[in-house]
Amino acid sequence: MSREVTFIHLTDLHIGDPATDDHLFNNTVDTLRQVLAQVATIEPKPSFLVASGDLTNRGDTESYALLKQVMEATDLPVVYAIGNHDTRDGFYTGMGIEAGPPGAPYFHDRVIDDIHIITLDSSTPGYIGGSIEDEQFEWLASALDTHPELPKLIVSHHPPALGEGPDDAHWRHIAYEHSARLAGLLKGRNIIGILSGHIHHDRVSIWNGVPVVVGMGQHAATDILRADVLRMVRGSSFAIGTIRSSGLSVAFVPLPTDRAELNVYPLEMLRQRAAAVPVAAE
Ligand SMILES: [Fe+2]
């Protein structure tokens, strides 16, 4: 590629109404407005914006309509993925996106400024953990064959499982078996990186040679110093990505925060709600 391409990565927007949603803990509409105002100041202007799932907190149609309205503050092309807090049909209806059959996963691809962006739907309706249906794997295999000359950016709300086998933290990522299948499909392809969220803290991993970028997102942060519970504290960030012929670079932009505690979840509850797909270590 002959020039740099800059993009914005948002995730876990969790749009909702703090006046009626007692599980929101934050005015996410205000946060998103603040982030978009900052994005508008970035020079040179980014090519696109990725919002990698958990677009709303409750998955209700009204929250998507509100998201759509707030996002009018940016004129960048927006690539949406959906996450475990989203509902597929709520997303289609609220965003005014034409859907297939009810409950159909939302996966798609497009090319912007010579970057082939492939978006997966890692949500497992009704569960926390990530999974990818056969239908999507088949589609992904053919999508990867298109635009062979272009670098490919993968978007998936749940990041892939990084470990060597199934584990009891499946609620944090795409099921190990599906992650392994994904790794097989991506092997040898020109994958510039994977953009994810879900775990609510900034993290960069190299997974089978592919950078996996997880954003803290715009809702709340996990306290990564506490491994015995899931402790949520105030915190949000967004990221500015740059793609060069040498590869991907990502800079995180934190928003001011006091890191006040918002809620604490026992890990056992999260493990029980991980997924509908069997996970060996559960
Ligand atoms: Fe989230």
pTM: 0.95
Going along the chain from its start, the domains and CATH numbers come out as 5-272 (3.60.21.10)
pLDDT digits (tens, 9 = 90+) for 124-182: 999 999 999 999 999 999 999 999 999 999 999 999 999 999 888 888 999 999 999 99
| pLDDT (average), residues 230-246 | 97
**235 CA distance to ligand 1 middle (Å):** 13
**12 CA distance to ligand 1 middle (Å):** 4
**226 CA distance to ligand 1 middle (Å):** 18
Other beta carbons within 10 Å of 142:
8
**90 CA distance to ligand 1 middle (Å):** 16
Question: What confidence score (pLDDT) does residue 275 get?
Answer: 63
**265 CA distance to ligand 1 middle (Å):** 14
CA distance 160 to 183: 9
Query: DSSP readout, 90-130?
Result: HHHHHHT---SSTT----EEEEETTEEEEE-----TT-SSB
